[in-house]
Amino acid sequence: MIATFLLRFLPPLQLVLSRLRGIGQLVWSYSQACRASRRYGPANKLRRNGRLEEALAVAHEGLSLLRQPGVIRGNCCEATVLVFLTITVEQLAHELQQPGASEQDLRDSFSYLQALGSGGGRSVQEFRTAWLPYLQARIGVEGDPTQ
């Protein structure tokens, strides 16, 4: 009787538990993206105040949060924060003549911007037009970056 019960209800229970784990990972990943995004504003404020080294360190902190295992960097929120922090790091590093974002951050940012295609408003397209060629050059990809 117990064996019949277990055989009947165990597979649906496993499915429910599996889905709950997936939801848990999504929530955790999103929370890491929120934590990383809270580094963007202070980094820009430090930059405006001429504290470039500190700004670079804060932006790098944000990127390191997005490199943690389990962060789903292709999700919209995570990817958006990744792109903005990566570009911030690249700008600051260029000004300070220091190494910029990691190759993985550059590649993931490039892929996300490229995947946007012609979607989004005018400002999104202007942003893509401005940054896709730069990211492409940094990672050494050939061809038209807007394709």
Q: What are the extents of the domains in the chain? A: 2-139
Is the pTM value of this prediction over 0.85? no
State the DSSP string of 89-119.
HHHHHHHHT---S-HHHHHHHHHHHHHHTT-
Q: Supply angle C-alpha 60, 61, 65, rounded to 5.
A: 115
Q: What pLDDT, in 10s, does the model give residues 73-87?
A: 999 999 999 999 999
Q: Sorting pLDDT into bands at 50, 70 and 90, what band is 14?
A: low
For 80, the token pair is 């958006």
Res. 10: pLDDT tops 60: no
Q: Sorting pLDDT into bands at 50, 70 and 90, what band is 119?
A: confident
Res. 2: pLDDT tops 90: no
What CA–CA distance (Å, rounded) separates 134 from 86?
12
Question: Residue 140 has what pLDDT?
Answer: 87
